[in-house]
Structure 1
């Protein structure tokens, strides 16, 4: 009972893969920076909508004029020189309001383009979320696997140290030659080098884990892959519908098509209303001199020839739209490739794990038999060393295959578009980019923002 309680306590305090992903979902700086970037992208829509709104401006000026002149003036029946100083202060204040009515559909098309770019940004944010969560999976499984490999390498070193000790004893009584001892020592040195290499890989994996998750890994447990599709065709169908990278490029294509209309608006007429008022006073010292005026009117302009600039901009926009359309096809093919590769890797690694388990069991049995035959004098030292090497090789191969299968499973989820917090089932408050978008879409005034912390 005591052993069972100890094991239960250890499992309860272990770091799970979901726990690591949940922490990264909330605190990972790469993901939070992408969320902040999406909030900046949200501002494209109110900027485009500003084309419908009036603009109001106030301007004014104050001028002081001081002049001095010499003149001859009569005084007491005499003409004398005199200095005459003249001072005047004037000013005016004007207010102007303009209201666009039509600008060649620039605002309409610009708003469509901005909304499409916001949608594309949301899909890119999902792609970043998937990449961060997948990085967590990779880091988690690397630490888990290299910890096991380090243990296997240490066991190998201990076994070979025992083999060297036994070889020296048998050499001392003349049962084997110095060559046998040298073979044991060489294999021990090789095993120690492999141990150092594994420890280095483990340290690198721990550093990556801390970078991605934000804390040192505790006791890790082997995870399961959740919500995998039942067939590769189902995976391909789902990826074609929800893969965020593919959807992001589709929205980029929509924005590029709207950009054509934005460029073409330079060839169309524009019209608007204007209103204004002005108050001026040429001399503040005289109350009677104040003047006031008001103006109301409409304006329009029709471009006739813009030196070929707008025509070139329209052609450029069409080429950009064509490029975006082709890139949708390119990304769709790349997504399909990623799904097929991940699916086959996951299925293939399942078979490899079965084979490595058989290989480990057989290698363990073979090592035991060779050691018994070595003790009976029918096997050489090199036979024992080779059997030991084969066992460790198969054990490392099994650990690596088990790690790679989990990674391949989550890579398949990412290729489909399912490696997101709600689809995986993470117990965290889901980040909703729609909230900030609705806050700023119709905001007419104000500079205050809610930033991502």
Structure 2
């Protein structure tokens, strides 16, 4: 295959080849947008860990020291009344919630869903990043091949120009053919300059996405693709991080509604405390108070509660609808990806065959031109046709390869395909699962630094 020859040529000129796998791995582990998403995810996890305090006692220490003067002859003795004396207070109080309408539990469940959602969102972003890096790599590869095609087109026209010059000098061709081939050579050189500019642009985008300049030879193998559109769609919907993120939004909305509705229930607390007073309230001497008991707070009536419940129900309906939107988007993405893949596959086969035929036509026209059976314009036109077909074939091959990786991304499998496990990107999305065994069980999860 002509494309294979180009790959060999490009690889031979490089210092050290960088594989597509290595480029994607580097992008996923160093790109600042991924690091920003990782920090956001870890912040959500730590905010969940903060809720541990909701299940522990709250202990407060109160202390006060100063001077006090009270004029109250009906309550104070003559010696204490209207006299200034130092007073001090120190007290220790503890409170633990016994029942709060399941507010704390639902708060944990809602935040666990939020953390899992941030993990799925990060994983979805990593799939997008892997696909962007893949596209940038293939784009550089494609423009390198197109540069070789354009350079060879210049060389071919220069060779024809030498033949034409000899024929013009020998009187076998008119001087107008000399001008014609010179014009075509300049056009071929301009086309090469344009491709070289596009290659530099592709290099710049590669450096932005991947994080380093493209070096060495490059090659683009195709990725495996499901056997049918239905198989691709089923796998995409089942694995999609976008859909799984939308599911966590439903859970988060549902549990957050329960948090809001917990105000409808009584709140019971166990309270205990001890305090020591010196010269308090104008009375000389010391006093020690100790106590333990149950506290109750219950809002029996508050207007607007029915509207609150209706609003929460609508928010939950919105989350359900957003999940349906995500499923439809993934289904459409799978269909468009499959359509592109099938089109590129057929186009590549047809263009390869067309390129083979064009190469034969150019060869025959060259022989007929030498035998004065074809004009220079005839030869140049078939050369133009061959160049255009070859140019298009390179793009089709690159597009076909990219569509196979796009199919993996639609299934949320691209990062793993390139050897980047989820554990290297984010935490395990199991916070909701852990919370099901008890709201406090989720606090046993260790959040280690990501490497």
TM-based fold match above 0.5? yes
Moved more, 53-62 or 409-418: 53-62
Contact preservation (8 Å) 2:18, 2:217 = yes
Alignment TM-score, normalising by the size of structure 2: 0.83
For residues 175 and 308 of structure 2, the distance between their equivalents in structure 1, rounded to whole angstroms, comes to 84
Instruction: Name the structure 2 match of 1:264.
Output: 261
Of 292, 296, 300, the residue aligned with 1:304 is 300
Distance 1:9 1:193 in 2: 26
The answer as to 2:315 corresponding to 1:314 is no
Larger displacement relative to structure 2 (331-340 or 290-299): 290-299
- Quote the Cα distance in structure 2 between the aligned partners of 1:186 and 1:396: 20
- Asked if the contact 1:49/1:107 (under 8 Å) is kept, the reply is no
Q: 1:51 aligned to 2:32? A: no
Counterpart-to-counterpart distance in 2, 1:403 and 1:9: 20
C-alpha contact (below 8 Å) 1:43/1:441 kept by paired residues:
no
Structure 1 residue 249: deviation in Å? Answer: 0.5
Deviation at 1:339, TM superposition (A): 1.1
Alpha-carbon shift at residue 168 of structure 1 (Å)? 5.1
Give the paired residue count: 422
Q: Within 5 Å, which residues of 2 pair with 1:12-31? A: 13-31=16-34
CA change 1:97–1:225 in 2 (3 A) is farther
1:198 aligned residue: 195
Displacement of 1:388 after TM fit? 1.7
Q: What's the CA shift for 1:247?
A: 1.0
User: What is the rounded CA distance, in whole Å, between the counterparts of 1:389 and 1:294 in structure 2?
Assistant: 100
Matched position secondary structure for 1:218:
coil
* Residue 330 of structure 1 pairs with residue 325 of structure 2: yes
Q: 1:232 matched to which residue of 2? A: 229
| 3-state DSSP of counterpart to 1:60 | strand
CA 299–247 in structure 1, closer or farther in 2 if over 3 Å, else same:
same
Quote the offset at 1:175 in angstroms: 4.5
Q: Distance in 2 between matches of 1:429 and 1:46?
A: 20
User: Displacement, 1:11?
Assistant: 9.8
Aligned to 1:35: 38
User: Which secondary structure state, in structure 1, belongs to the residue aligned with residue 428 of structure 2?
Assistant: helix
**Offset, 1:173:** 5.5
Alpha-carbon shift at residue 150 of structure 1 (Å): 0.9
Please say if residues 15 and 217 of structure 2, whose CA atoms lie closer than 8 Å, have aligned partners that are also in contact.
Answer: no
C-alpha contact (below 8 Å) 1:22/1:428 kept by paired residues: no
Mean Cα deviation higher: 434-443 or 409-418: 434-443
Residues of 1 paired with 2:259 and 2:125: CA distance? 30
**Structure 1 residue 430: deviation in Å?**
3.8
- Give, in whole Å, the separation in 2 of the partners of 1:440 and 1:35: 23
Partner of 2:4: none
Q: SS at 2:296's partner residue?
A: strand
* SS of the residue 2:245 aligns to: helix
Quick one: distance in 2 between partners of 1:428 and 1:334?
A: 23
- Decide whether aligned partners of structure 1 residues 192 and 277 sit closer, same or farther in structure 2, where only a CA change above 3 A counts: farther
Give me the TM-score of the superposition, normalised by structure 1: 0.82
The answer for the alignment partner of 1:378 in structure 2 is 373
Aligned match for 1:153, one of 122, 125, 150: 150
Query: Equivalents in 2 of 1:443, 1:208: separation in Å?
Result: 43
Q: Does residue 342 of structure 2 align to residue 347 of structure 1? A: yes
Conserved 8 A contact 2:100-2:265: yes
The answer for the alignment partner of 1:364 in structure 2 is 359
Shift of 1:167: 4.4
Using a 3 Å threshold, how does the CA distance of structure 1 residues 235 and 314 change in structure 2: closer, same or farther?
A: same
- Between 1:350-359 and 1:184-193, the stretch displaced more is 184-193
After TM superposition, give the deviation of residue 164 of structure 1 in Å.
4.4
Structure 2: how far apart are the matches of 1:372 and 1:204? 40
Structure 1, unmatched stretches of 5+, are: 1-5, 67-85
**2 CA distance for matches of 1:191 and 1:346?**
32
Distance 1:433 1:189, change over 3 A: same
Is the CA contact 1:90–1:281 (under 8 Å) kept in the aligned structure 2? yes
CA displacement, residues 391-422 of structure 1 (integer Å, 9 cap, x when unaligned): 1111111111111111100111111122132x
